[in-house]
Amino acid sequence: GAVLACAVPWIKCLLLTHCSGIMSQESSLLALNSMYQFIESRVSTLHTAVEVSTCFDLIVDDLDEEEEEDGGPVIYEDKDSDEEEGEGTELAMETDEEADESADGVGSVVACSGLPSPSRE
């Protein structure tokens, strides 16, 4: 593929350069006319094919980069919960009474600041 891509423009240039000598011989003119038309059609589509190939390369590179960035799932392990096994759950859980007490403390701070107090359900 790559050799042909380089050879086609070279052959076209060669034919154009030696066009007068080729045209003087009628037998070669008929044989090379079809070859010249074939080369012309290939050269005209070559630029478009290179553009499409470049676009595909960019898309594939972007997909490869996204796969590398994703890597895998991120797992967060809390070191405190491993050391205190049962104690962490007791400290983390909050009863309704404690929530009401903490909300009362917030309400008093809000009242002092002049902001409206938060609504409770």
The structural domains of the chain, with segments of one domain joined by +, span 2-70, 79-113
List, for residues 38-61, the tens digit of each pLDDT value: 888 888 888 888 889 999 999 998
**Angular region, 74: left φ>0, alpha ψ -120 to 50, beta rest:** beta
pLDDT of 27 strictly over 50: yes
Report the pLDDT value the prediction gives residue 8, as an integer from 0 to 100: 81
Where residue 110 falls among pLDDT bands split at 50, 70, 90?
A: very low
State percent of the chain over pLDDT 70: 59
List, for residues 67-100, the tens digit of each pLDDT value: 777 666 677 788 775 555 555 455 555 555 555 5
